[in-house]
Structure 1
Amino acid sequence: MSSTESTESRATQVPAALPLADVDATTAERVDVVVVGFGIAGGCAALEAARTGARVLLLERAATHGGTSAMSGGHFYLGGGTAVQQATGHDDTPQAMYDYLVATSKEPEHDKIRAYCDGSVEHFGWLEALGFEFERSYYPHKAVIQPGTEGLMFTGNEKMVAFKKIAAPAPRGHKVPVAGDTEGTKMVMDLLRDRLAEAGVEVRYETGATHLVVDGEGTEQRVVGVAWKSFDTTGVVLAPAVVIAAGGFVMNREMVAAYTPALAEKPFVLGSTYDDGLGIRLGQSVGAELKHMDEPFITAPFYPPSSLMFGFIVNKHGQRFVNEDGYHSRTSQFVMEQPDHAAYLIVDSNHVEYPKFPLVPLIDGFETIAELETALDLPAGSVAATLERYNAMAAAGEDTECGKAPEWLAPQDTGPWAVFDLTLGKAMYAGFTLGGIRTTVDGRAQRPDGSVIEGLYAAGACASNIAQDGKGYCSGTQLGEGSFFGRRAGRHAADLARTTTPA
């Protein structure tokens, strides 16, 4: 076998579970809860477990804490009437938040969405109690993330016509008070590290889980610990509860190619070195079901400036296929479904501005629509017919084709027309994975028949919860649900440890 083949097999290999009978009980360590991975989910799980009195060991393969969480801009999707929403005059209720998330979920898990929405205000307070405060301010413009330290903005599709009919829109993208669009969560992760130290949690860096330790067989099998490796040293730690929070699989090119081929084609990937799917494969080793593994988050925002949303998007047939005012990953996901992943944003001279972050390149400006069609090799007359319908709908103030909000409708009738290329491979797409281990509302890993795998929990990017696909995604969902369901998993794991006879 070549070295390349060996590497690829290791990248997709499901590590065999280690029978308890093969463990040397005289050398194995014992704790109440083991948490694998120190991102937002793992850190919150470990802290909640420790605060209930459990002895917790947190294993992290990297040399420091944070994982992919520390690389994000710092949005937490929270609502139901948080202090920031109240301070900025935005009414919201848990029910409105629930109705919206149910409507935008691919396969809504109602118990999880209900728990998340009903517990959102409390979770907001828990996060601030780590030692920071979301700024009581609102950013009203259409953007990917607040450029400054503003505490609140719309980060999803709440204002879309279709969803406004279901739930009253409210901004729920709560950003930590760090300016800019990267590493906003590092401050939170640093505070989480400090709180873990205060709670007496042992954290071992450069130490990764390699296998789950199991006792019993079949549906009676339970997870009772993990085998670990740190450089050349190996060992086993036994615990009644194990929480896997080891991230997604975006850095595993073989898994990406197998599950999410569009993400494997051209995009830059957003993740840490250790987002290699190992946590997910550990779950597989004991029979956990995987869900939504084929649904990536892929995006190339064409805004800001927001004026570009007055334009219209067509595919290779010169036809519209999506409302242009949606959240950027929703629009991008519709682009991925078009022939050759190709699409073009067309904006007239009254509304065109060059993007502040040129992720979507300008092809050219065209004096006539016929010239535009020829240059892009679109069917003759196709864009002209689309533009005629679009302008008529804009003049009437209602998009009867794709449901674009009236506030973003304006006739595009003044040449020349600028064309921006949204095509995969031309625009600068970025993405990460969303699928993971099937879990209960308390983070318990589940088999395909719905039964729980006793002793095993999953949270964060290696678990399947609310973030299920790019069309329904809202910025802040990963950090929001990772921290929220990480806490639930930690509490339940600690409760299980208190009532379980050690292996």
Structure 2
Amino acid sequence: MSTKAPEVVAVESVTEWTGEFDVVVAGFGIAGGCTAVEAAARGARVLILERAAVAGGTTALAGGHFYLGGGTAVQKATGQQDSAEEMYKYLLSVARDPEPDKIRAYCDGSIAHFDWLEGLGFQFERSYYPEKAVIQPGTEGLMYTGNEKVWPYRDQAVPAPRGHKVPVPGDTQGAALVIELLVKRAVALGVEVWYETGVTDLVADPDGGIVGVRWRRPGETGAVKANSVVLATGGFVMNTEMVAEHVPWLAEKPFVLGTTYDDGTGLRLGTAAGGATRNMNQAFVTAPVYPPATLLTGIIVNQQGERFVAEDSYHARTSAFVLEQPGAAAYLIVDSEHMDRPMFPLAPFIDGWETVEEMAEALGIPYQALRSTLDRYNEHAARGEDPDFHKYPDWLAPQDKGPWGAFDLTLGKAFYAGFTLGGLCTSVDGEVLRDNGSPIPGLYAAGATASTLAQDGKGYASGTQLGAGSFFGRRAGAHAANRSS
């Protein structure tokens, strides 16, 4: 797959149009679907061009977390206090390169977006899952999915659980239910969907405004005129050349999360039209060490025997710190009293040892350093303290009951998976922006094609991709529809 951007076609060169619409959307995942439905609900004539034979994209693989807050019906029903202001302060604090206007809009509009999602025809279960997990094991509607209770963020914003899960059991494909409902809503609103049809080029007027697209499907090509075009084709994790250029470490050993069509098409179309990009060198990568949550009472050390992260961090935050260690090597050490074995171990269990000295020798860690780190942790944990990394008290427990076991978090040993986070620069309404900050008339981007709210793995929270993709997809659809009216 080439990183060379497609050409922008001059409108004068198009001799025949195969259709005319107010809004054309490239891609039918969560962002594209929400864009189309919102635009159609406002009276726009909408066409979705989807390269696959069915709707869904990468969204259809997701577990179904939506990061929502401010006092949703689920939060209220389960007694969880939250406000748009606290949500805003939290998301602002974890972003490496924050866009305050987008974060503010997302937080202020979160309750209304929650209601809109349920209006599609499902309901988040009014229940709370209190344990620390990657995703709720059942259909519980709410849990913590980020670093809200992790220091220093818990001192910067009042913690609240905001991971709202679609009521489908299991770790994957919960979001497929939302796609099914979006398809039904799109049909009801008169949205046209051309499957197995992909956008190949944008069509521009003499001033650089986008006025249509060229498309291709097996054995046929054509061009469609549009007042607005929305790019929602996913990220670029499946484009080996783009990954090598922007996030080369992602190509080394992690398993990539995406579909065939996460190949950067939307990004390349947008940059061809003059769109700028943000955070192209950032990615989400993780190899969760929990559940079971009791393992988080242990300590994570590098090859020097030093702790470097609060073990109760969200799994992608922990993983991001692991990858910064010498050799991207780290170990989770747990004593016999707190040892448990994951049902699906992504960080493999290495072995158990009767003494710390034997463990240090087997792991290749200097014994005195590991002994010192363990003793210091145990001394403070016994008092419910962690002066070094301020681990939340719920996960503090001395690891002093031998034998000890270790799990391998090292890149190449643990099963890391990831996807790209960079994308096109957009306004709060999804307009694709040039380097100088001006919008390209008629061009929008949403979902993983646009730079995401959580711009690196350390600040990521489960549910921000689906949450922000659907929310800003709707904003792009509304703006595009209003522009066409």
Same fold (TM over 0.5): yes
Give the equivalent residue in structure 2 for 1:47: 37
Could you tell me which amino acid in structure 2 is paired with residue 303 of structure 1? Answer: Y
5 Å matches for 1:261-340? 261-340=248-327
**Residue 368 of structure 2 is aligned to residue 378 of structure 1:** no
Residue 11 (structure 1) shift: 2.9
Residue of 407, 410, 433 corresponding to 1:446: 433
Give the equivalent residue in structure 2 for 1:207: 197
CA distance in 2, matches of 1:371, 1:27: 74
**Residue 147 of structure 2 is aligned to residue 160 of structure 1:** no
Residue 161 (structure 1) shift: 3.0
Residue 299 (structure 1) shift: 0.4
TM-score normalised per structure 1: 0.95
SS of the counterpart of 2:168?
coil
CA distance in 2, matches of 1:380, 1:346: 14
Give the equivalent residue in structure 2 for 1:12: 3
SS of the counterpart of 1:70?
helix
Aligned residue pair count:
485
Give the equivalent residue in structure 1 for 2:126: 136
Residue 389 (structure 1) shift: 1.3
CA distance in 2, matches of 1:250, 1:368: 43
Residue 402 (structure 1) shift: 1.5
SS of the counterpart of 2:367?
coil
SS of the counterpart of 1:431?
strand
Give the equivalent residue in structure 2 for 1:493: 480
SS of the counterpart of 2:111?
helix
Any conservation in 2 of the 1:112–1:465 contact (CA below 8 Å)? no
Q: Which moved more, 1:457-466 or 1:251-260?
A: 251-260
Give the equivalent residue in structure 2 for 1:180: 170
Could you tell me which amino acid in structure 1 is paired with residue 352 of structure 2? Answer: G
Could you tell me which amino acid in structure 1 is paired with residue 242 of structure 2? Answer: M
Give the equivalent residue in structure 2 for 1:80: 70
CA distance in 2, matches of 1:309, 1:27: 59
Residue of 245, 252, 277 corresponding to 1:258: 245
Give the equivalent residue in structure 2 for 1:469: 456
Residue 260 (structure 1) shift: 1.4
CA distance in 1, matches of 2:353, 2:277: 48
Residue 314 (structure 1) shift: 0.6
Could you tell me which amino acid in structure 2 is paired with residue 181 of structure 1? Answer: D
Q: Which moved more, 1:363-372 or 1:37-46?
A: 363-372
Give the equivalent residue in structure 2 for 1:22: 13
Give the alignment's Cα RMSD to 1 decimal. Answer: 1.0
Give the equivalent residue in structure 2 for 1:236: 223
Residue of 376, 380, 390 corresponding to 1:403: 390
CA distance in 2, matches of 1:206, 1:28: 16
Could you tell me which amino acid in structure 2 is paired with residue 197 of structure 1? Answer: V
Could you tell me which amino acid in structure 2 is paired with residue 55 of structure 1? Answer: R
Give the equivalent residue in structure 1 for 2:49: 59
CA distance in 2, matches of 1:31, 1:453: 19
Q: Which moved more, 1:120-129 or 1:461-470?
A: 461-470
From the superposition, tell whether residues 440 and 27 of structure 1 become closer, same or farther in structure 2 (CA, over 3 Å).
closer
Residue 394 (structure 1) shift: 0.9
CA distance in 2, matches of 1:199, 1:226: 22
Give the equivalent residue in structure 2 for 1:501: none
Residue of 431, 439, 460 corresponding to 2:447: 460
**Residue 356 of structure 2 is aligned to residue 369 of structure 1:** yes
Structure 2: stretches of 5+ with no match in the other structure: none
Any conservation in 1 of the 2:31–2:473 contact (CA below 8 Å)? yes
**Residue 100 of structure 2 is aligned to residue 110 of structure 1:** yes
Give the equivalent residue in structure 2 for 1:91: 81
Residue 465 (structure 1) shift: 3.2
CA distance in 1, matches of 2:402, 2:246: 43
CA distance in 2, matches of 1:168, 1:122: 21
Residue 28 (structure 1) shift: 4.4
Structure 1: stretches of 5+ with no match in the other structure: 1-9, 499-503
Give the equivalent residue in structure 2 for 1:147: 137
SS of the counterpart of 1:165?
helix
**Residue 398 of structure 2 is aligned to residue 388 of structure 1:** no
CA distance in 2, matches of 1:447, 1:383: 51
SS of the counterpart of 2:126?
coil
Give the equivalent residue in structure 2 for 1:6: none
Could you tell me which amino acid in structure 2 is paired with residue 284 of structure 1? Answer: T
SS of the counterpart of 1:32?
strand
CA distance in 1, matches of 2:338, 2:70: 36
Could you tell me which amino acid in structure 2 is paired with residue 269 of structure 1? Answer: V
Give the equivalent residue in structure 1 for 2:25: 35
CA distance in 2, matches of 1:84, 1:323: 29
Residue 405 (structure 1) shift: 1.2
CA distance in 2, matches of 1:448, 1:374: 53
Residue 467 (structure 1) shift: 2.1
Residue 27 (structure 1) shift: 3.4
Any conservation in 2 of the 1:106–1:469 contact (CA below 8 Å)? yes
Residue 56 (structure 1) shift: 0.5
Any conservation in 2 of the 1:143–1:304 contact (CA below 8 Å)? yes
Give the equivalent residue in structure 1 for 2:407: 420
Residue 21 (structure 1) shift: 1.4
Any conservation in 2 of the 1:11–1:276 contact (CA below 8 Å)? no
Any conservation in 2 of the 1:48–1:491 contact (CA below 8 Å)? yes
Give the equivalent residue in structure 2 for 1:3: none
Any conservation in 2 of the 1:60–1:204 contact (CA below 8 Å)? yes
Deviating 4+ runs (over 4 angstroms): none
CA distance in 2, matches of 1:395, 1:406: 10
Residue 155 (structure 1) shift: 0.5
Give the equivalent residue in structure 1 for 2:211: 224
Residue 485 (structure 1) shift: 0.1
Residue 403 (structure 1) shift: 1.9
Residue 47 (structure 1) shift: 0.5
CA distance in 2, matches of 1:27, 1:439: 28
